[in-house]
Amino acid sequence: MTNNIMQKTMIFFLAVILLIPTFPVDAQENEVTVNVASLKVRSGPGLTYDTIGVVSRNDKLVVVDKENDWLQIKFGSTTGWVASWYTSNEAVEMTNKQVVSKANRLNVRTEPSTSSAVIGQLNEGDQTPAYKSEGEWIEIDFQGRKGWVNAAYITIAEQSENEVTNTENPIPEKLFVVSVDILNVRAKADLSSKQIGQVTKGTQFEVLDTNHNWVKVQLDNGKTGWLYSFYGTFSNESQSTTTSESTNTITILYNGTNLRSDSTTNSAVVKRADAGDTFEVSDKVNDWYKIVLEDKSIAYVASWVVSASNTIVPTEYPIEGTKQSRKKGTLKGLSIVIDAGHGGNDRGTTGALGTDEKDITLLTAELLSSKLQAAGANVIMTRQSDVYVDLRKRVSIGHQAAADAFISLHYDAVDNSTVRGYTTYYMHSYQKKLAEYVHAGLGNMISLRDRGTQPGNYLVLRENRQNAILIELGYLSNPTEERNVTTRQFREQATHGIYNGIINYFDNQLK
Ligand SMILES: [Zn+2]
């Protein structure tokens, strides 16, 4: 080796050594790791955007941009968006996010670790603000203090809209008329906020303020509260003008709602709208509204993501369930929606022994459907195969069919393998009776621990104007229970029990 070559080699290595520190820092900043089993990649930065693919645990994602809590990542030959709180091992701040517990008795801990102390528990449907995520843990507000829950047992939702200040929101109309038998009055513009009273059908209120889907009104006792505008109509003067005024407008319920070129989810997105935006309707095509945009161009929006202010509530509400031709012990003339929980990319919970919830909910739904059909019911299934169906679409299917009952089937899981039993949920008072009948029917047929009927803030119940219930048929997180409830014999008994409950409920309506 000559001196000349030695020199050149030395200079080369020096240059390499000097350059090294700059590379890895950049690379680390732009890369995150997926820390959940599967994570949806979406076409935009929000939960309402379409899913364009899925990435898996430990996948490394190259980040090209960031918007609030969403990361734009390289995805194949294109880019997509993922929720940042399911990536990386560093703490990620979460703004305007809430956690909703998917499980009963979910432990809230002092630290992001199962070895830390338990300070309390969340039950299914409990909602609370989220502060940040760290790996598989989410830091939350727990009764005014900070605590940590495992991300596997919660879902993340946008913070309720009342938290977002919206001072320039105009008051669209002067009066709001309640169109359901009983409507809860809430302290805040939020379904989970404290109930401070109830109002009845036909009551008119002056609109003091609005906040997206909520209307602020003053009650007889002088107190003010919020009503969910879904369950009433707006009018300019008095109730008599409501009908002539007929509504040819719809209001968007969710931020980032897709407006499309045609009445199908496969058609191009021409624009996005935010919660509270209103549009003139020119036509209705199946489940879609044809709307007129500001520039007078036409677009389509799915009916299950909007509220049509004057037309949306059917007159014979809530459901009477009595149809003349029906005889006791039969379901002839009744339409019943059977909703097999989860499906497709959404597996639901996974059992201690590996059962996917989405598989057994479908098997159970099929069996229940055949029993109900045999009794003369018109059965509508929200899915009949392993496909993903949006929760709002499921509700919309029930609304379209003017269903007499909507039965959602699930299996439970919780962060504690000893928890077991079955629970029947309802949300609105008009759903409670059906829940009680079906729960009693189940209790006569299955030997699981009875966890009772409970109100549960599930979207398929909450947004449902029909008689809807959600049944959790045992805990897959308990290995003994998982073995039991995944058998054909259990499904036979459980569906027989649900069937008996439904028959008894409708027989009782005939009296
Ligand atoms: Zn489920």
Q: What is the pLDDT of residues 259-288, one digit of tens each?
A: 889 888 778 888 888 767 888 888 887 778
Count of helices and strands (H, E) across the chain: 9, 35
Query: Do 506 and 361 share a domain, yes or no?
Result: yes
Q: Which of the listed residues 194, 226, 244 is the one where a domain comes to its end?
A: 244
Residue 422 Cα, ligand 1 centroid: separation in angstroms? 12
Cα 502 to Cα 464: distance, rounded to the nearest angstrom: 18
Cα 289 to Cα 310: distance, rounded to the nearest angstrom: 14
Residue 102 Cα, ligand 1 centroid: separation in angstroms? 8
Residue 342 Cα, ligand 1 centroid: separation in angstroms? 6
Residue 341 Cα, ligand 1 centroid: separation in angstroms? 5
Query: Do 144 and 190 share a domain, yes or no?
Result: no
Query: Do 147 and 56 share a domain, yes or no?
Result: no
Residue 50 Cα, ligand 1 centroid: separation in angstroms? 21
Query: Do 56 and 107 share a domain, yes or no?
Result: no
Mean pLDDT calculated for residue range 191-209: 80
Residue 87 Cα, ligand 1 centroid: separation in angstroms? 23
Mean pLDDT calculated for residue range 55-62: 84
Cα 502 to Cα 318: distance, rounded to the nearest angstrom: 17
pLDDT of residue 362: 95
Question: Interior CA angle at 311 toward 224 and 193, to 5°?
Answer: 30
Residue 346 Cα, ligand 1 centroid: separation in angstroms? 10
Query: Do 82 and 122 share a domain, yes or no?
Result: no
Task: Report the side by side order of strands in the sheet with 175-178.
Answer: 204-206, 175-178, 232-235
Query: Do 404 and 341 share a domain, yes or no?
Result: yes
pLDDT of residue 164: 37
Mean pLDDT calculated for residue range 18-47: 64
Strand partners, 346: 343
- Let me know if residue 19 belongs to a domain: yes
Burial of 90 (0-12, 13-18, 19+ CB in 10 A): exposed
Cα 27 to Cα 133: distance, rounded to the nearest angstrom: 22
Joined tokens for residue 183: 């409507």
Residue 360 Cα, ligand 1 centroid: separation in angstroms? 10
Q: Which of the listed residues 68, 86, 104 is the one where a domain comes to its end?
A: 86
- Let me know if residue 287 belongs to a domain: yes
What are the pLDDT digits (tens) for 398-417?
988 889 999 999 999 998 99
Q: How many domains does the chain have?
A: 5
Query: Do 294 and 274 share a domain, yes or no?
Result: yes
Residue 154 Cα, ligand 1 centroid: separation in angstroms? 11
Q: Which of the listed residues 65, 86, 107 is the one where a domain comes to its end?
A: 86
Joined tokens for residue 144: 């005014």
Cα 180 to Cα 230: distance, rounded to the nearest angstrom: 10
Residue 345 Cα, ligand 1 centroid: separation in angstroms? 13
Query: Do 61 and 104 share a domain, yes or no?
Result: no
Residue 48 Cα, ligand 1 centroid: separation in angstroms? 20
- Let me know if residue 72 belongs to a domain: yes
- Let me know if residue 313 belongs to a domain: no
Torsion sign across C-alpha atoms 258, 260, 263, 268: negative
Residue 486 Cα, ligand 1 centroid: separation in angstroms? 14
Cα 177 to Cα 204: distance, rounded to the nearest angstrom: 4
Residue 351 Cα, ligand 1 centroid: separation in angstroms? 11
Higher pLDDT, 342 or 172: 342
Torsion sign across C-alpha atoms 130, 132, 138, 144: negative
pLDDT of residue 404: 94
Q: How many CA within 13 A on the CB side of residue 163?
A: 13
Query: Do 53 and 111 share a domain, yes or no?
Result: no
At residue 299, does pLDDT exceed 80?
A: yes
**Crossing angle for the helix pair 488-510 and 357-374, nearest 10 degrees?**
50
Residue 370 Cα, ligand 1 centroid: separation in angstroms? 22
Residue 104 Cα, ligand 1 centroid: separation in angstroms? 12
Mean pLDDT calculated for residue range 140-167: 70
Q: Which residue has the tokens 């739904």?
A: 365
pLDDT of residue 496: 96
> How far are the Cα atoms of 326, 366, 422, 504 from residue 333, in angstroms, in the given order?
7, 20, 30, 16
SS3 category, 266: coil
Of 127, 60, 126, 138, nearest to 93 (Cα)? 138
SS3 category, 263: coil
pLDDT of residue 451: 96
Decide: 427 and 395 in contact? Cβ < 8 Å.
no
Residue 73 Cα, ligand 1 centroid: separation in angstroms? 29
Query: Do 138 and 97 share a domain, yes or no?
Result: yes
Cα 474 to Cα 451: distance, rounded to the nearest angstrom: 10
Residue 366 Cα, ligand 1 centroid: separation in angstroms? 16
pLDDT of residue 53: 87
Question: Interior CA angle at 199 toward 206 and 320, to 5°?
Answer: 125
Residue 412 Cα, ligand 1 centroid: separation in angstroms? 6
Residue 246 Cα, ligand 1 centroid: separation in angstroms? 39
Decide: 69 and 94 in contact? Cβ < 8 Å.
yes
Residue 410 Cα, ligand 1 centroid: separation in angstroms? 4
Q: Which residue has the tokens 């509508």?
A: 380
Helix ranges (DSSP H) in 302-390: 357-374
Joined tokens for residue 494: 């459980």
Cα 314 to Cα 372: distance, rounded to the nearest angstrom: 25
At residue 125, does pLDDT exceed 90?
A: no
Residue-number span of the structural domain to which 283 is assigned: 249-307
Which range is most confident: 373-377, 382-386, 451-455? Answer: 451-455
Residue 348 Cα, ligand 1 centroid: separation in angstroms? 5
Residue 357 Cα, ligand 1 centroid: separation in angstroms? 7
Cα 313 to Cα 175: distance, rounded to the nearest angstrom: 17
- Let me know if residue 324 belongs to a domain: no
- Let me know if residue 272 belongs to a domain: yes
- Let me know if residue 323 belongs to a domain: no
Query: Do 360 and 396 share a domain, yes or no?
Result: yes
pLDDT of residue 1: 55
CATH number for position 281: 2.30.30.40
Decide: 38 and 19 in contact? Cβ < 8 Å.
no
Residue 219 Cα, ligand 1 centroid: separation in angstroms? 38
**Lowest mean pLDDT across 24-38, 103-117, 172-186, 466-480:** 24-38
What are the pLDDT digits (tens) for 313-323?
332 233 333 34
Residue 361 Cα, ligand 1 centroid: separation in angstroms? 8
**Crossing angle for the helix pair 488-510 and 429-445, nearest 10 degrees?**
130
Residue 238 Cα, ligand 1 centroid: separation in angstroms? 44
- Ligand 1 ion: nearby residues, β-carbon < 5 Å: 341, 348, 410
Which range is most confident: 30-39, 187-196, 295-304, 413-422? Answer: 413-422
Of 125, 31, 136, 143, nearest to 86 (Cα)? 136
DSSP state of 392: H
DSSP codes joined into one string, 97-164: EEEEESSTTEEEESSSSTTSPEEEEE-TT-EEEEEEEETTEEEEEETTEEEEEEGGGEEEEEPPGGGS
Residue 326 Cα, ligand 1 centroid: separation in angstroms? 33
Residue 473 Cα, ligand 1 centroid: separation in angstroms? 10
pLDDT of residue 359: 96
- Let me know if residue 270 belongs to a domain: yes
Mean pLDDT calculated for residue range 289-303: 88
Joined tokens for residue 436: 């009680």
Residue 371 Cα, ligand 1 centroid: separation in angstroms? 22
pTM to 2 decimals?
A: 0.42
Q: Which residue has the tokens 């000349």?
A: 4
Residue 198 Cα, ligand 1 centroid: separation in angstroms? 31
| Beta strand ranges found along 48-110 (DSSP E) | 51-56, 60-67, 70-75, 78-83, 92-93, 97-101, 106-109
Query: Do 272 and 369 share a domain, yes or no?
Result: no
Q: Which residue has the tokens 């940040």?
A: 132
Q: Supply the mean pLDDT for the chain.
A: 80
- The kind and range of the H/E element at 485 are helix 479-485
pLDDT band at 199 (very low <50, low <70, confident <90, very high): confident
